[in-house]
Structure 1
Amino acid sequence: MDARQAARYRRALTTHYATIGRSYGERIGRVLGVVIALALWFFVATRLDFCISLGAILFQPLLLVPLARIAGGVVGAASGEIVESIAARIIRRKIVTHLRRLHLAQDNNAFGLLMEALLSPLCAPLRDEITNALRHTTQPNSIQAICRTWLKHHKRGERELAQSLARLIHEERWAAQRPLELRVYTALLSEQLELLDLTKPDTVAVLLEACRDADATIAHNARRALSQLRHPAAVDALCEAFLQSEDACARELILQHDYLPQDAIRRALVLFLSGQEARYEALDPEHTLLAMGYLTASESLQRRLLERARQLGRVDLMRVVVGSNTRKRISELRDREWQAVLEALSAQARWHDMWRLATEAPPYWSKQLLQHLAQVGWDAASLEPEERALYEQLHALLPRLIVAIEPNQRRASLVPHRVIAPSNLHLNDFALTADGKYAVLAANERELQVWHLPDGSLEHTLTLPRLFRALATHPSLPLLAVGMTTELHFYRLPELELDATVPIAAASQIKFFAEGTILACRTHRRRVELYTIQGSEWTLWHRLRRPQEVRDFTLTPNQRALLVASGSGAGVFDIATEEYRRTFGARAAEATALAYLPRLRFTDWLAIGYDDGLIVILSLPPVPESFAVAARERVRLISGNDPIRALHWIEPEQRLLSVSEFTVHLWLPPNRYPQQQLSFETPIVDAHYAFATNLLAVGTRNHLSLWTDPLSHLIRQPITRYKEGDLEWLEQQLQESTNISATRAWLEFIHALVRHHWRYDIAIEPVVINVGEFDIEIEVTD
């Protein structure tokens, strides 16, 4: 078959006959509609009286067009279905039959056309016939192509096509040669486990992934293969997967087949974490292997070791996992270590040491320690009179303290909190989780980094399979959406474990709406695609094919319209009709960003940023009435001459965050002037505010800077690190009467601790408190 004949066959297979039939049918239907209208007119004019005939003559032009359209639509739809049915039954089936004969004759072009037809939705009714034709494939490259197509669609979750190819591969017992992942999956599908090289660690990694596959046959065969490991390197790889990611399948195999690594330290860790306490104690009676393993372990593995020791109730193990001589300054402790301190001191009933720590710890943890003392009914009578008075004062404030602080600090300037600046960082984008505890950085085009913000530590990293385009975090779940050049991946946070894959090409902007049930993506084709979650799968809901140069977008709360910022301004696209309904504001400048704030004093607020630095805030009636009523301009904010790159509402506080190339502004509309301006020397990528932790994160090309309000900063800072300026700020805030009850309680709580520390901190050498996990050194104030 030559190239010209192949092109003719391809055109016949991929032609949308329903469109052609509908087009001709509409023309015929319109002619029929005109004929019917004329016949009706003739009937009325000849059979009825003069008045009715005159009325028919006058209204005839008004009836012609509607009748022609109605008839055209009915006939067009019917003819489209008829033509498509005939084409599918006759033309495409005839071509597939002919291609099958050519494929039997080893024609490569015929194989390529059969594969194209198999993937085409138009040829879906012929999928079984095409699959039967492919059974005669004998060339290795063609078998490789079939296997590769199956795995691609299997990973995407396209069940019908994947199941058709899976039956073909299983029945013909095909297996690909390369790459390794494809070879492993096809060997599992065709039940040819003898083709797997079970001596390689890479094979073990793919098999562990296959154990979680949705296909029961693949998952079962993967477990069968992993139960046959004999090579030490393969066993080590399985045990390492269990240590690094707590793989449930790996743990089950370790217990069933007594898999243990060669290295004594890793063997001790596996025994300890897999619940084999007796064997662990026999191997490591002095717990030295456990201590050495903890020192070289990753952050996540250290947490698992510590959590396991807590579950066992072994204070001695809690101590050895970090080394018996480890000393940490009170300012270096992380939240998980403070929790361990609380549990260890409580288990040993060391209430006086707990009180001493409460007077020096960060106020956040002072509150936790004092609450525990109150719960156990500790008697503070043994304290000195002034210390006992302090305890009673702090105890009285405890009911007014809340963990999720909502201080009325909207007039206070943010202060620097921490800078995350890893070496060789080139930041592409970033996002914060809803709880404000983690930041996900997309760096160096193909790398994801998860940072724990409370202590500034790197938790997990991942190398993406393709170039990065955009990312977004789910508003309520620990879920991350990452857009790449050919698809969109969903990862579970903070482990960065792959959860799902959606074939969305080049999504340059991603946003969640409707509490995370709708996902919107702007692609490189300047169109916006909307996806909804159904069960555990994301399915395409709507595609707006012709938005004009969309720069930014947001969805209305009722999910009926998409508000867009474009070169022609800001406007509304009706999702149902794909019609551009109206434009907000008549400005010559280009709209570059927008943010929507719903249900504010019976109106909605829409903030629009332009390329000349102006921000316009409009007041809209609640949707859907906003389409019929003109928007009213509330205020104009002037941030400078640089284009507005992004806008974000801080909803609980009704503040607005605007991002330009080198500056970030915080606004409190309708005030026209910014509350605070933050300037940076390098271009800003984006900025996000986490209300749960009162934390502002600003990402530039080479670092991520964190800012917080003064009270939140002081609550997390040890009392030993307070300076004179901090005390002055506390006293100034206490003199103001505008602070709400919870905020004032925190101010009084911190002020009492600071005054006590400065009055009684006369130690010459650091005080050390020994706890079950490590020694805490209370620094002496300079």
Structure 2
Amino acid sequence: MTPEDLHALAKFLSSANPQTLESSALQQFLLLRGAVAALQDDGSHQAAAFLAQAAADCPIPETRALALQALGLMASQGSPDALRQLFDLYFTWGSPDTAQQIITRGLIHPDPQAQNAFAFLTQPPDQWASQPQAYTALTAFYRQAEPAVQKHLLQAAKNYHLSPWIWIVTIAASPDQPEAYADILNHGYPTLNGELRALFLAVLSEHIQKGSQPAADALAALFLRFDDPQALQTAVTLKAAPSDSLQRALFFFLSGQWAEYERVDFNHTLLTSLYESASPALRRRILAQSRTSGHIEWLNPAGAVRPRWLSELSPADWQAAVQSLAQSDRTADLWKLILVSPPTESVRILDVLRSLQWQPPNAEDRGFYSQLLTLAGDCLKTPFTLPQPRRLKGLEAVVSSLLFEPSGKHLIVGTAASAIHFFDIPHWDLQGQVILAPTRPIRTLAVNTQGSYLAAAGGDNAVHIFRLDNFQLAKSITGHTNLIRGLAIAADERTLYSAGFDGTVRAWRFPVGGELWQAAPGDQEITALHCSAQGDLLITTGSLGKLHVWGAADGQMLWELSAHDGPITALALSPSSAAAVTAGRDSRLCIWNYASGRSLNQFSLSSETGRATCLVHHPTASAVFMGDDRGQITCWNPTNGQALLPALTSHSKTVLAAAISPDGRFLVTSGMEGALLAWDLELFLLTHQNLEQLTPAALPRVQSLLTAAARPTERVWLSYVLEILRRRQKYEIELGSAVIQAGEFDIQL
């Protein structure tokens, strides 16, 4: 305000004559300011509304600011109307000045849902999401809000990358649009935390009770796709089922609703048709439900065409198929299986044929059969075991951690003496490069997908990140207060995860550091951490015997599973499915579906097996290798708990670490006695996989291996495999389309 304006005001106040205000601008200023002051003094509901309108759309910025300040002062003095108008103003327009008035004056909305929405719009997402039932309150507020407010909330959610919540509120507004459910079903559901899952189920339940069939289809899909027990319970309670006849039959069958299943598929036509076109995972699930429930009548309907499959047969399936064929005296079909089944299974088939005193009908086959009987008999007398391992030399310190870099060209070795070494593959030469970490021992390692950064953790409770182009320390990240027991780097290479004995799981910006979020499963030490193959979930195990599943994006706990009686000492994930394998001090091996939170199986280990210290899942075979505190390495089939190898006893003390190369060719183990051993798994894979999976190049390779083999065990098994491969090569065309009916399923050769 100019000196002239001040004199004019003084003259006006002395005379009370408006004509003394010669400046039109000054007149306007006084009128607007007086109007704001008058509305503030009035303090009524209508006055608060007029002030809010002025703060929103008055063309003069100074007046907008005055109106906003007046609203803030009225609200701080206890006016409920001004308080609501102030919050509504922010929810509609999102003005930072309005938010500042609310925050600076410490104003709280009387409606907890509205206050939660304000926090959502003004606080960092992680801070807001840490509040109990934050998403639930936000959704309730959103659904009652005006369109302009909804638009503001959706834009904020997009900025925060909260796609799952956007999907849920979109579905809440569009209950009868099937396409609205697609994103969350196809991409998002496994990543939802517990609150978002419950919220999604609540929205579906609400729509189903109002008669929405798309919502019922979506609810059933959660059970069919993800084996979600909460979705199943909700569907059964609401009597919801899919509209599609095939999915309806499958839903009733897998959920054990037998009366409903019989009504829609009394002759099992739908289930049989669906099974024939199903994925291997779904086939296994259907068969498991059949065997568990005893409803196996659909497997042999008169005249039905049954599905044909070979590559997905488990050892238990092979045993059942062979038993069925033998009981039916279908020896010719057993003979056909010799050329396609895994050698470990075909030697048993030959033993069955021997016990049945069967002979091939033509002379040429009889000669080959006689030769195979002899070789198979030798194999059965000489149980398969791995060749002696190669001892890697050049290290003085005990190896405490192992990791193959993603390309499989190098083995990374962390030692108890703070040094990190590198061996080249497959020559196993110790490389000259050495990383000297500022801590010891090196307990856990992680490398990014590009192989450019290595993360290591040891005894100083910090994560150290090294560049692999120059082997120099790039960053040290602190925050943990006890030993770190697990590291993982996200596939997008933007996040590093860590967990340890301080009971916390933490996410850090990678590779620069900076904590993104922190979570704790309760009063227990964390003993292991792994990231799912898709990168959306984290799996941890703890000292109280529990397995936890977390959303990798936000650290929200999805599942807490009571796994073992006592500490879990080892954890491994399947690279090809959502299966986790755990082992603990209770001498049990447990298998879990970490995406659905369900227990798949558990097995008691023999008394000859020590306590597990490490686990690693083979990348292509159905096999888990376990090291124990007695220095033994055992190999198990995770589907049935069957031991695939005799115990390997080359270590004399506790096995500290194990790793398998990305191609599955090599297993490397380290022991407390100081040995670092490389095991060649090539012969193991040759004898445990279906021979139909082998390429023509396998024949000369097996010949080469046989020539070089020194141990009788290797020579016996390689000789057997070689003869079958020669026969396959000679008669490959004749094997093309044969189908063998074997009890529960047909086997396509």
TM interval, short-chain normalised: 0.3 to 0.5
What's the TM-score, normalizing by structure 1? 0.40
What's the TM-score, normalizing by structure 2? 0.41
